[in-house]
Amino acid sequence: MELTVPSIMCEGCVETITKAIKNLDPQAQVSADLARKTITVQTTTSRSDICTAIANTGHTVQ
């Protein structure tokens, strides 16, 4: 799934989001495109759970 996260600004943001996702699913594949402000996640975890985990880090998902 690809998620737009307009609040990501740097690699630190990406690391924080990646850690939150991997806490839900340690096997998740996470990549980010800072220029497009997107996070791509390959996981068996539901989209709503991933969005909640990102929101819990203080970021917003569109």
Contact predicate 45/5, CB 8 Å: no
Domain boundaries, given as residue ranges, for the chain: 2-56
User: What pLDDT sits at residue 54?
Assistant: 97
Cα–Cα distances (Å) from 56 to 2, 3, 35, 59, 60, in that order, read: 18, 15, 23, 7, 9
Whole-prediction pTM value?
A: 0.93
pLDDT tens, N- to C-terminus, the chain (62 residues): 999 999 999 999 999 999 999 999 999 999 999 999 999 999 999 999 999 999 999 999 99
pLDDT of amino acid 32? 96
- CATH 1.10.150.530 is the classification of domain 2-56: no
